[in-house]
Structure 1
Amino acid sequence: METRHSSCSDSLPGSEAQVRLCPEKFDQNSTDEKSLPPVDGGFHAWMFLGACVMLEALIWGFAFAFGVFQKYYHSHEAFQDSSMVAVIGTCATGISYLSCPLVIAAMILLPQMGRWFSSIGLTIMCLSLALGSFSTNVNHLVLSQGVGFGIGGCIAYSPSILYMDEWFVNRRGLAFGITWAGSGVSGLIFPIGLEKLLSQFGFETTLRVISVIMFVLAAPFLYFHRPRLPVSKSISYNRFNFRFLYNKVFLFYQFSNIMEAVGFFLPGIYLPSYARSIGASDFLSSLTVTLLNLASVFGSVAMGHLADRYHAITCITISTLGSTFSLFFLWGFSSTIPTLLVFSVAYGLFAGCYSATWSGITHEVRRVDPTADSTMIFAVIAFGRGIGNVVSGPFSEALFGVSLWKDSEIGGYGTEYGLIILCAGISAFLSGVCIVAHHFKCI
């Protein structure tokens, strides 16, 4: 496996941070590094990471649990005849990803306001959910639970991306891996909790209760969701260098990232219904997603650890091979519940960790273009994942129910989920395009 080595200048988001964190670049006007909290550890660094994990868990855990709401809305008299229900969830996740570069740019242009983005975003999120509880049609839910929550979530979450490089340098990959694991942990809790709240109290009370819970859990951490370095009064316009967008190294990695995202979300959506179609009880069908989320926690932390030590291609290879194999063979040929549960664990372990490779991808892009800003690269990678997320919704709707091998004895391929499984596997396989490009020295 190829090892990777990070330098100070590679790991930091801007020239000011590079000067303050790299001793060899200090000058007389620089802030004394000893007066700042330590990087890669210490109370303040771990509390910042704790804030990142909490926001990750609340924002993405709730967004990814929309399947529970979708099932409820389709059975609710006021919404059951609408074809727009799925759009609510797509807006919540898609907007959170797609608006990331814009929010990061706003934080760079408004450095004095950056400290307050988390608070503003959390307020928008909670208000959007509370207002959504008064919805009388699906359009109201699209605007509140979808668009409003997506915008608020992105604003609240973006400081995690912008300030991570200030708090974690040599352990940046591990820090991001731990952060991504937050959504896996909440992915175990949200579906169960939402199911019970919706069945007992309806969507109105559920949205109000969740909005309060989110605010109460996140608010104590907002104080620590802040930059490590003193805020500069001048705007770092040099960070808006987007020449990397035309760099073939970035283009290969971004194409692979988008391809992975197109199929990544499909198992989480269709696994429970597929499990029921082969005879699983409600508990076992829910267990498929529970195991997937649980495995993604361990996968994300492990991959984050590897991303600090090995080349991005090595990490992506592990994720690509594992997720492709599990989709084509474990889910594709599964006809029993035990096999499907094994797939859930394998897929969560290998596919759930893909985002943890982003720090390695950022390193490789900056290696060929040192003038590129690592935070902007990261934000554009998130934008690419948003493209895949938005495309996967209508794409899967068109595929579901179309069976090329109907009634054949080949597990999942012979069911109405056959094309879903096949295309998810192809998507995972295409996420390895950058591996081939690296092998042939294209990147």
Structure 2
Amino acid sequence: MSDTTDFKDSHKSRPGISQWDLASDTIAHTVPPKDSGRDAWLVLTSGLILGAMVWGFPYSFGVFQEYYLRQKEFSSSHSGVAAIGTTSMGVMYLKAPLLYVVFHRYHAHRKMIGLGGFIIMLVSLVGASFASTVSQLLATQGVLYAIGGAMLYFPIFNYIDEWFIKRRAFAYGALVASDGAGGVIIPFAMEWILNRWGFRTALRTWTIVCFFLGTPALVFLKPYPVDPNTEQVSRKIDLRFLKTKTFWILQSGNIIQSLGYFIPSYYLPSFAVACGWSPFIGTIAVSLCNAALVFGALMIGWICDHHHVTVALVICTIGTVISVVIFWGFSVYQPVMYTFAILYGFFAGGFTATWSGCSHPIRRVYPVETGMIVALFTAGKGVGSLASGPLGGLLVISDTWKGHAGYAYGSGFGYLIVFSSVTASLGCLGWVGKKIGWVL
């Protein structure tokens, strides 16, 4: 006789046990393990595929921007074209906390909301392929894509919270790494299609790719099974942690670091031209930066699982400052610039993987879910994303070191190099907070 039969027979002999109780006991004995097992890894793998798909496309927008500015119907509005990419990323970042609250309270509808976001994202890409003005591209490839992408991507935070406990920081680090992985391959693929068949074919091709990648990923992306006797219709989020010094000193370091984080990826192609190289050299550097982000996020996520988060913050800060001040500051040769891109992607890109680790000291003050902290820190990065564009432009225009300072500091990007290094150095405010007792 099988174990299942024995289990059922044992309940039959017990008076007062209903079929509902029997089903509940069966669920309790068959729930999949957390942090391991086929289901947990399938959920994480599905999240990685969706993350690479959702974020890899806006990460490659520089290729589209260069193409659009060469087209007669779009070239008259340089600022409008540039706003497409920053709007797409900024809106997705800033929507994270709102969507997390919605998914948290109405968790039974997460699957349908994610599916709706997937459909909106596909529709936005098809709509953009029919655009004939910059405003139409901004509405479709910018705003509509961001809405759909955010609805599809951010439920993954909740699923990771449910499926992973001991390896949660690693899982979040892997999710961050997938974003960078998409930014390695997609720019070259899109550039190849754009130069041969144009943006309409490129957008429709990417729509088809997203459909065939995203559909199976959505099938395996599922919540952790719960006992119907204990499942709640809605849950409230305790926001008392927003009053703590711990949260705000960690968030302040995150926002300040984000102000300078995007500058290299925005300006490396222009920097390459200023050094007398082709824009393609800058594209290679950006791709190397995104590739290094994959390994950096995994490593920093592992460190957060095994050490206090401030250890990871210090490592990211020191590595980023050295890469900017020394390797970008002295990038007069291509190998030096490539070295900068790799180091910067590893340490600065890996900074995002500290977000889940930041939840540990905050939870020592007030209970809070990791996903909520990650969502709020994502919004903080969105502030940096939106602000770094005009800040970077202002620094380039006002740079008086051009032709006077040595090495890359005199290339016209000297102010950017200094600004990025200063903002990076303040990313370890959490470590300072720990030293003075504000971070436990």
TM-score w.r.t. structure 2 length? 0.90
Match of 2:232 among 208, 231, 234: 234
C-alpha change, 1:404 and 1:34, in structure 2 (3 Å) is: farther
Match of 1:257 among 230, 254, 276: 254
Quick one: which amino acid aligns to residue 87 of structure 1? A
Match of 1:205 among 193, 201, 204: 201
1:231-267: per-residue Cα shift (whole Å, max 9, x none)? 77633433x2212112110000000111111111111
Matched with 2:87 is 91
- Runs of 4+ with >6 A deviation: none
Quick one: which amino acid aligns to residue 312 of structure 1? V
- Contact kept, 8 Å, 1:241 with 1:373, in 2: the verdict is no
C-alpha change, 1:373 and 1:282, in structure 2 (3 Å) is: closer
- Contact kept, 8 Å, 1:159 with 1:225, in 2: the verdict is no
Q: Distance in 1 between matches of 2:294 and 2:320?
A: 15
- Contact kept, 8 Å, 2:260 with 2:420, in 1: the verdict is yes
1:15-414 matches, within 5 Å, as 33-82=28-77, 83-230=79-226, 234-238=232-236, 240-370=237-367, 372-414=368-410
How much does 1:109 deviate?
Answer: 2.8
- Contact kept, 8 Å, 2:356 with 2:371, in 1: the verdict is no
- Contact kept, 8 Å, 2:359 with 2:370, in 1: the verdict is yes
More deviation, 410-419/110-119: 110-119
Quick one: which amino acid aligns to residue 272 of structure 2? A
Q: Distance in 1 between matches of 2:394 and 2:221?
A: 41
Quick one: which amino acid aligns to residue 329 of structure 1? I
1:254-292: per-residue Cα shift (whole Å, max 9, x none)? 001111111111111111221232233454332211211
How much does 1:33 deviate?
Answer: 4.4
Matched with 1:25 is none
Larger radius of gyration: 2
Matched with 1:6 is none
How much does 1:431 deviate?
Answer: 1.1
Quick one: which amino acid aligns to residue 150 of structure 1? A
Quick one: which amino acid aligns to residue 66 of structure 2? K
Quick one: which amino acid aligns to residue 70 of structure 2? S
Gaps of 5+ in 2: 1-23
Q: Secondary structure at the match of 1:244?
A: helix
Quick one: which amino acid aligns to residue 134 of structure 2? V
Computed over aligned residues only, the root mean square deviation of the Cα atoms, in angstroms, reads 1.8
1:174-212: per-residue Cα shift (whole Å, max 9, x none)? 111111111222211111011111111111121111112
- Contact kept, 8 Å, 2:274 with 2:411, in 1: the verdict is no
C-alpha change, 1:245 and 1:31, in structure 2 (3 Å) is: farther
1:314-346: per-residue Cα shift (whole Å, max 9, x none)? 011100110011111210122111111111111
Quick one: which amino acid aligns to residue 56 of structure 1? G
Q: Is 2:425 aligned against 1:432?
A: no
1:394-430: per-residue Cα shift (whole Å, max 9, x none)? 2112222432212124222112211111111111112
Gaps of 5+ in 1: 1-28
- Contact kept, 8 Å, 2:325 with 2:417, in 1: the verdict is yes
C-alpha change, 1:70 and 1:282, in structure 2 (3 Å) is: closer
Identity %: 37
- Contact kept, 8 Å, 2:324 with 2:417, in 1: the verdict is yes
- Contact kept, 8 Å, 2:275 with 2:411, in 1: the verdict is no
Q: Distance in 2 between matches of 1:293 and 1:243?
A: 36
Q: Secondary structure at the match of 2:130?
A: coil
Q: Distance in 1 between matches of 2:26 and 2:358?
A: 30
How much does 1:111 deviate?
Answer: 2.4
Q: Distance in 2 between matches of 1:433 and 1:177?
A: 21
- Contact kept, 8 Å, 2:355 with 2:373, in 1: the verdict is no
How much does 1:149 deviate?
Answer: 0.7
Quick one: which amino acid aligns to residue 435 of structure 1? W
How much does 1:71 deviate?
Answer: 0.8
How much does 1:63 deviate?
Answer: 1.0
Matched with 2:15 is none
Aligned residues: 414
Q: Distance in 2 between matches of 1:283 and 1:86?
A: 19
Q: Secondary structure at the match of 2:364?
A: helix
Q: Is 2:413 aligned against 1:417?
A: yes
1:3-41: per-residue Cα shift (whole Å, max 9, x none)? xxxxxxxxxxxxxxxxxxxxxxxxxx8885432111111
- Contact kept, 8 Å, 2:246 with 2:362, in 1: the verdict is yes
Quick one: which amino acid aligns to residue 321 of structure 1? I
Matched with 2:5 is none
C-alpha change, 1:357 and 1:33, in structure 2 (3 Å) is: farther
- Contact kept, 8 Å, 2:285 with 2:341, in 1: the verdict is yes
TM-score w.r.t. structure 1 length? 0.90
C-alpha change, 1:313 and 1:243, in structure 2 (3 Å) is: same
